[in-house]
Structure 1
Amino acid sequence: MTILRQPTRAGVRDAAAKVAAVVPATPLFVVDIQGVAVAFKAECLQPMGAFKLRGAWHRLTAIEPDLRSKGVVAFSSGNHAQGVAWAARRLQMPATIVMPADAPKAKREGTLALGAEVVSYDRKTESRETIAARLAEARGAVLVPSFDDPWVIEGQGSAGIEAAAQMAAAGLGSAARVVVPCGGGGLAAGLALALPEAAVTVVEPAGWDDMRRSLEAGWIEPVGDSPPPTACDALQTMRVSGLTFDVLARRGATGVAVSEAEIRAAQRWAAERLRLVVEPGGAVALAAVLSGKVAVEPGLLVLLSGGNVDLAAYGAVLAGTD
């Protein structure tokens, strides 16, 4: 019987050491909200604009050196794509990314600029998982899922190790609750491992809140047919994985959903108060706090997970003409 590797807190700590060796810690901003100091971890300031660099680096560096020449294949709407491309270029590995044809132009161009090959697909009629698996098999490459992978989960959790040290240094004590954007749940699961004493709240766009519903039901619930349109391209995952769900369910994680209007308001707040560019999917956790769906309390840690925006769409959000 094959025993599948499980993500662990020890693995998260190993990943944190690996990441710290190649990129500086992302800043932690502290803002007073309702008289409470709230910590914001700015993963939007990673070199490729999102936390996905962490999981990609931990996963690719775990590939045996003699296998690296075959490269890697990943599927992503943009942030995981750029994270894998960034790590592959640094390790001198070929990278192929399966991206939806309607992926944001900035994310597609960013992936290409990092040296990866991009293969397009129609997200309405084709399966990115199937396409990527076939490419990986044909090329002898390693398939790197965006969240359903123990190394990827551990790598994303390294953000929690950093944030814990930064909160302590700022005199905020330990994180009592971490609020995190959720697509497939890789970042949320990693943070749950990294911060075992903190309550975990995942946040998703309304209509795409399958992790919330899954955690409430006790089993995995897919998004379902005809979900509503959302600006959160990074969070359009039709079904979470058993790996991420199990980690979050064991930790008693909860979830909330936010509206498109609440997300846009959060993007504007981040620009005005933090001077940060945050993409829609990266702003959902902030939206949950600002809308009152997550209570402001001491020890609150909020993840701003990405900042790769479409400039025209972002300009409309800031101007209030969206």
Structure 2
Amino acid sequence: MSAVLDHAPALQNSMLPSLQEIEDAARVVYREFQATPQYRWGLSSQRLGTDCWIKHENHTPVGAFKLRGGLTYFDGLKQRGEMPKEVISATRGNHGQSIGWAARAHGVPCTIVVPHGNSVEKNAAMRALGLTLIEHGDDFQASREFAMALAAERGAHMVPSFDAGLLRGVSTYWWEFMLAVPQLDVVYVPIGQGSGACSAIAAKLALGRKLRIVGVVSAHATTYADSLAARRVVEAPVTTHLADGMACRVADPAALAILLPHLDRIVKVTDEEVAQAMRDLYADTHNVAEGAGAASFAAAMQDRSQLKGQVVGTTLCGGNVDTATVAKVLAGA
């Protein structure tokens, strides 16, 4: 795996979209919904002690940024004349909604595999898109391995969680953010499988910006932090109970190769810090954030003593969290 990380420039050239490709991807995305807003929230800025902008990807039709990637992935299949008869993928929820939405739009049957104990409401949202949902395994990695085996058995197309076709779409949200707020000094990006952080890098490079990109991982799911430090894939246990969108046990080597030369650093956030950020974001913006959706604000708050005078960008990248969980978090439980 270390050999992959040592050839990061080659992978960047093959996977990261150009400015033209991001602009083309935006046209695909905007067939389904318009650019999401970003606001400088006064209370959040006051809390952080400096200008804080929040990008609201919780305002997409599936409540998370992932939809952008699904739309461009399927558009790529269509343009190449490779539309499959069936697609299969694995998820903790938002990627599954993205693939389910795009598959439905193209009339392709879709099966999504989730681990046992997955979010009840994310599962319901996926089923509402008309896909077949299978529960298998104790974590995302087990679901992913089962989905890959099932796709091979059926001759179906396995949609990965990290791919150039996904990055093209996801990059549009960072492109929107950086165009709308060109004065950004630093952005905080949660890392699940890596598409969000790698897309922030793609937008930065495409637009020629000099802002810093800080990666955020759960302190209870540290494969990306450990792997970047070791320059090779390091499997790490997942024990987070709140940040399911960051609950990754095995980092993707292609994502690591892109992240390694471009991340300013990594910040680890605990479930307790994430819960506090969920409460803060609700109080400041009256938007509901899922665990991963609050992680970037939690990381910025951890760094707040270092951020004075800087323009900070955070992302409420998803708002799909079970009602019972929100009630507990807001109650301080």
Decide: shared fold, TM above 0.5. yes
In the alignment, is residue 71 of structure 1 matched against residue 82 of structure 2? Answer: no
Note the C-alpha offset of 1:275: 1.1
In the alignment, is residue 143 of structure 1 matched against residue 158 of structure 2? Answer: yes
Pick the aligned partner of 1:174 from 171, 183, 202: 183
CA distances 1:56-110 after superposition (whole Å, capped 9, x unpaired): 1111111137543513111001110111111111222211101112110000000
Bigger helix share? 2
CA distance in 2 between partners of 1:87 and 1:97 (Å): 13
CA distances 1:95-132 after superposition (whole Å, capped 9, x unpaired): 11011121100000000001111111022598323321
Partner of 1:240 in structure 2? Answer: 251
What is the correspondence of 1:1-322 to structure 2 with a 5 Å cutoff? 5-10=14-19, 11-31=21-41, 32-33=45-46, 36-64=50-78, 67-68=82-83, 70-123=85-138, 127-146=142-161, 148-167=162-181, 173-196=182-205, 197-224=210-237, 227-292=238-303, 295-296=306-307, 297-320=309-332, 322=333
CA distances 1:215-266 after superposition (whole Å, capped 9, x unpaired): 2333332214xx4342111111111111111111121441111111111110
Structure-2 change in CA distance of 1:219 and 1:126 (3 Å):
closer
SS at match of 1:138: helix
Structure-2 change in CA distance of 1:133 and 1:125 (3 Å):
closer
Q: Which ranges of structure 1 fall in alignment gaps of 5 or more residues?
A: 168-172
Deviating above 6 A after TM superposition, structure 1's stretches of 4 or more consecutive aligned residues are none
| Contact 2:232-2:253 at 8 Å conserved across structures | no
Structure-2 change in CA distance of 1:154 and 1:106 (3 Å):
same
- Percent identity, please: 28
* RMSD of aligned Cα (Å): 2.2
| Contact 1:30-1:39 at 8 Å conserved across structures | yes
CA distance in 2 between partners of 1:158 and 1:27 (Å): 13
| Contact 1:77-1:99 at 8 Å conserved across structures | yes
**In terms of mean alpha carbon deviation, does 4-13 or 207-216 score higher?**
4-13
Structure-2 change in CA distance of 1:126 and 1:192 (3 Å):
closer
CA distance in 1 between partners of 2:140 and 2:97 (Å): 24
| Contact 2:40-2:51 at 8 Å conserved across structures | yes
| Contact 1:16-1:161 at 8 Å conserved across structures | no
CA distance in 2 between partners of 1:294 and 1:155 (Å): 34
